[in-house]
Structure 1
Amino acid sequence: MTMFVGLATSYATAMALTIRESPVVAVAELIIRLTPGAIAEWLISIVGQLDKPLLIIGIVAFLVAMGALAGSLARHSVLKPVLVWVVLALIGGAAVMVQPGASVVDVLPVLVGFVTWLVVLSALSKPLVTERDHPELESRERRVFLMVAGVFGLAAVGIAGAGRVVGRGRRHVAESRRLLRLEGVTRPLAPTDTTIGLPGIAPWQTPNDDFYLIHTAISVPTIEPKDWTLRIHGLVDRELVLTYNDLVARQLTESWMTLNCVSNEVGGDLVGNAWWSGIRIADLLEEVGLDPSADCILQTSEDGWNCATPLSALIDDRDAMLAVAMNGKPLPIEHGFPVRTIVPGLYGYVSATKWVVDYEVTRFADVSAFWTDRGWSEEGPVKMASRIDVPRSGDDVAVGDVNVGGLAWAQHTGIDTVELSVDGGEWQPAQLAQTPSEDTWVQWALTVSLDEGEHELRVRATDNDGLEQTGVRRDVLPDGATGWHTIQVRAT
């Protein structure tokens, strides 16, 4: 109970001071940063996108358990429970101070929570020690009860008020996004020949609400466009600082691009295709002038996450951009509003920085980045992949002709052919839909004849350079999964 009061007042203080992260969130983000890549990938494979909520629940449960321990120790000693809380407060304070841009003010919620806990624990502990010898102190118990009830009431009010502050901040940004009008951004009109016409295949254009969402932020940054800036510095001739208005006043480029996460398993759905609008990064880098020794850009997000992106992928002929719109609308908050980086042909862990605020032109040898520090490879080019969407593995299908279809992708190279094998037999070519560029996925379909019984279907692709997709199964770590997507069906 005392721990709950301490946590509540700590959270309320953080929100009242408009500190973006409470101590619990700061600890959670510190744990994420310290978790090795292999362990992080294993946990994600088990719980998926529930990893962050479960982490928060685990931290709160641990704190409640520590609070119970401190309360038990308080029956016999004053020093021991205080030591428990001092250790927890130091951990919380350290987690807060290592956050990007942290100051002494950010530690205040930890101190307020600690002091509140001391007051409440002291009030609750005294009657437990004295009532055996002084049962007449009933009035003191009443006073203690009223004081504790008052603290709980204030904590509840604080949480409610803090929740309104947080909600109000997000609502303000959401309203700014809703009212934003971006000149030059057009609504997407997917070419009709990009769809193969087989029901069950994922849509060629992925709606914003269905687009996969991967990030390390426990608390999603909310940035008003008027407050956003991007600094480009490092190994450049001229440093450049752009405001949001500076950025969107420039010439916009728009294109269809497929993005996928390096954590995508063979046949997985951490991939999506959208109409992106933004400003070409190559133009900005030409403006600042690049040192010939530079080979990467260290991108940093508002929440401190960073990645090192190969410079070659930002200045070649692909449409690497600072995106401001997705499918004809300003970026969703969760997908990086107001500005994020998009680089076709690279996995997101080395390129797709949401809420981006800093570009440092540098060298791979001189920097470290979030995921590469955890065992992932340095440059992260997308691996060619294909998957079967129809039928699903384990489905029952009718004996005879069966329609099979799915998607394939090899961004910045493009898909030339897709083939299907039944029960390890000869590879049969599939029909491909059209694509507007090599940076998007392609739908494919064909009809196969199945006899009664169990069957195994597997798919492979070949890209426009003539490279055939490997059938060797490899895990997502360190640079993306490989292997042919294989399913089992039963014809009846």
Structure 2
Amino acid sequence: MAQDHDTATTIDRLSLLRSILVGVLAVLAALTAGHLIAGLLNPNASPFYAVGNSAIDLTPAPLKDFAVRNFGTNDKLVLLAGMAVVLLLVAAIAGIVSRRSPLPGVVVATLLGGLGIVAVLTRPDTDVIDVLAPLTSLVAGVGVFMWLHGVAFRTTTVDGSGRRQFLYTVAGIGIAGVSGQLLGGSVEDSRTAVGDLVPATPAPPIPAGADFPQLGTPRFLTSNRDFYRIDTQLDVPRLRAEDYVLRIHGAVEKQLMLRFADIRRMRLVERTITMTCVSNEVGGPYVSTSNFIGVPLRDVLAEAGVKPGAEQLFSTSVDGWTCGTPVADVLDRGLLAIGMNGEPLPAEHGFPARMVVPGLYGFVSATKWVVDMEFNKFADKQSYWLKRGWGRQAPIKTQSRIDSPSGFATVGPGRTTIAGVAWAQPRGIAKVEVRADNGPWVTAELAAEVSTSTWRMWRAELDLAPGLHTVDCRATDKTGYRQTEMRVPPIPDGATGWHSTTFTVQG
């Protein structure tokens, strides 16, 4: 007798594999549904990002420092990967404990959904309406879990109808996730609409001989793609220029509300500025240079009228990050930047507008996506990193770095060229010295200077015998201060110490 292929039989317990698959697909459906709605409302309302961003804010400062020190700009990727692994484990466990009944999995899905709702409601960069994203996530997670559990609870025949339903679910999850990501990307259209930024006062051309890339130093100007980035958020805020408003208030004569079009109409200048991150270890990579286009902050603030006695410009990003900058530095050389290397700011570097104050580490001077500026005293409010024990006023320290030869490299015989960069914004670099194997110091050749607010390349030639050598470098700034040998870690207000590299000269 031929087997009936259209009849399905029931079972009393799911197989281990099917139960895990049900749990994982339900969690993925919940996350992508929330991501899709967040793409329509506010990308930061995505439950995955909201929970992750809250976790970042609640992480103790020593753990944050460890993450930046060990993972650098990949710290957020590590967190995302860790969250994904935890969620997949929770999903698998939810499926396993639901092999007989969907109730345990429904409870787990509800708890996860509730966590997303709480995260969105307590984030500084979300509104009440944004809770629709995690609510949708909760409903999708519970609904998909119950439906897939019912599908999996029936053994399917060789026509594979059950398998097709699972595949349709996977396809729907993928489409929802991609759609949510695409919906959040309209900021690029806004950047394009800004058009060309033509400064009334362009930056002077970079002189020939300002860098030594052929010897291993970076190019003098860092491309936007390669410019270093350190953020506290998992996702880049997507703020359109047409929605942008900057509020200026506090200890001022007149409160201002400036739209992007207002800033764009002001007299634009272009300035070549080297920025440095306080998390940079001795010899580290978190230093970059760009031609920033914007309006001097003293011009922006002229109409507001900063009152005497104001000590701090307390600025706030659209994602809730805060920064405290000394008013004297803001008025002296601060820039409200809207362009970078000839184009509107990239989204990851603060579009539509950001602060840039040369000479201060970024955590006290470089608020991206800045939407609020309040003038007050340092005692009135503490910024994001100050609450976590970092420095209050963080001038950039005099530092230098060897770029070539790299550590443990092997170089050819003959004279050895040592090349690198030094910086001491806004004081400028007066001298760089190198020494080999604790021998006498040799003065390096400095590249052409662009300004005291930028880095300066250098090179030196040494006669080294074949074998292993260690070379140190130190810089002296234009105030006469010579870089200290004493090693201190980056936190709370910047690393110090001489950078060195060890390499082998061939015989």
How many residues in Structure 1 have an aligned counterpart in Structure 2?
481
For residues 176-234 of structure 1, give each alpha carbon's deviation from its aligned partner in whole angstroms, at most 9, with x where no partner exists: 24x34445374762112423586212122222222212222222122322222211101
Distance 1:154 1:205, change over 3 A: closer
The two structures have a TM-score, normalised by structure 1, of: 0.90
Q: Distance in 2 between matches of 1:55 and 1:348?
A: 22
Partner SS, residue 443 of structure 1: strand
TM superposition shift of 1:170: 3.8
Partner SS, residue 257 of structure 2: strand
Distance 1:438 1:188, change over 3 A: closer
Q: Distance in 1 between matches of 2:260 and 2:484?
A: 43
Distance 1:289 1:181, change over 3 A: closer
Q: Distance in 2 between matches of 1:208 and 1:49?
A: 15
Q: Is the 8 A contact 1:260 1:270 kept in 2?
A: yes
Within 5 Å, give how 1:26-425 maps onto structure 2: 26-76=50-100, 79-125=103-149, 152-167=170-185, 169-177=186-194, 179-182=195-198, 184=200, 186=202, 189-195=205-211, 199-316=215-332, 319-425=333-439
Q: Is the 8 A contact 1:187 1:327 kept in 2?
A: no
Q: Distance in 2 between matches of 1:127 and 1:330?
A: 51
Q: Which amino acid aligns with 2:464?
A: L
Q: Is the 8 A contact 2:102 2:149 kept in 1?
A: no
Q: Which amino acid aligns with 2:317?
A: S
Q: Distance in 1 between matches of 2:229 and 2:43?
A: 25
For residues 64-100 of structure 1, give each alpha carbon's deviation from its aligned partner in whole angstroms, at most 9, with x where no partner exists: 2222222222235665434323322222111111222
Q: Is the 8 A contact 2:203 2:272 kept in 1?
A: no
Partner SS, residue 215 of structure 2: coil
Partner SS, residue 140 of structure 2: helix
TM superposition shift of 1:12: 2.3
Identify unmatched segments of 5+ residues in structure 1: none
Q: Which amino acid aligns with 1:258?
A: T
* Pairwise CA RMSD: 2.6
For residues 243-293 of structure 1, give each alpha carbon's deviation from its aligned partner in whole angstroms, at most 9, with x where no partner exists: 122112222232221111111111111111222221111233343222333
Q: Distance in 2 between matches of 1:252 and 1:377?
A: 32
Q: Distance in 1 between matches of 2:97 and 2:201?
A: 63
Q: Distance in 1 between matches of 2:201 and 2:244?
A: 19
For residues 5-54 of structure 1, give each alpha carbon's deviation from its aligned partner in whole angstroms, at most 9, with x where no partner exists: 22232222322445543100111111111122321221223233222223
Q: Which amino acid aligns with 2:129?
A: V
Q: Distance in 1 between matches of 2:441 and 2:168?
A: 74
Identify unmatched segments of 5+ residues in structure 2: 1-24
TM superposition shift of 1:468: 1.1
Q: Distance in 2 between matches of 1:328 and 1:153?
A: 41
Partner SS, residue 379 of structure 2: helix
